[in-house]
Amino acid sequence: MNNDKLLTLLREVKSGTVSIDDARIALEGVSLSEEQYKSAIDHGVFNKPKPGTVVRATISPAAESGLMVLFFVWGLFWTTYWAFTLTYGLLNGWDQQQLAFHLGMTLMTLIMMGIIYLRFVLPDLVVVKHRRNKYIPPKDTNSWKKYDA
């Protein structure tokens, strides 16, 4: 995404270098016609991208927050706890219900970590690919190449 003045201003407001009041004053004289507004909203939503286009959502949070790190440390701790208690129970002959609970808690913690990883850590990056025809279109037989095996 190109860094235009509006995006730069929004980033400065987010970082705290520019106050919200100053940003409002800077954007005071800006106006859009209804056609410009609709085309800005519809752009990228209803327009088909060309094959090979890389689409990136830059608004999604990247795993930079301390809360993400805290969640993964929490998840690693509980995953190892439940896995080791499952192993301990297997070696000491616990009954199946207790072992199933420990296995379920291990898997549940791993699933929660996976969902959070997919939602908040992985980049939102899509390469647009269109399906091609799965048949050979009719072609002039004189332009065919003969390959010898």
The stretch 41-54 carries a mean pLDDT of 66
Cut 0.95: pTM above it: no
Confidence of residue 84 (pLDDT cuts 50, 70, 90): very high
The predicted pLDDT at position 1 comes to: 46
Q: What HEC string does the chain produce?
A: CCCCHHHHHHHHHHHCCCCHHHHHHHCCCCCCCHHHHHHHHHCCCCCCCCCCCEEECCCCCCCCCHHHHHHHHHHHHHHHHHHHHHHHHHHHCCCHHHHHHHHHHHHHHHHHHHHHHHHHHCCCEEECCCCCCCCCCCCCHHHCCCCCC
The stretch 31-44 carries a mean pLDDT of 69
More confident residue, 15 or 103: 103
Confidence of residue 116 (pLDDT cuts 50, 70, 90): confident
Average pLDDT value for the chain: 78
The listed range with the strongest mean pLDDT (98-102, 113-117, 122-126) is 98-102
Q: Does the structure show a pLDDT above 80 at 99?
A: yes
The stretch 80-97 carries a mean pLDDT of 96
Residue pLDDT, tens place only, 6-32:
677 778 888 888 888 887 787 777 776
The stretch 31-36 carries a mean pLDDT of 73
Q: Does the structure show a pLDDT above 60 at 66?
A: yes
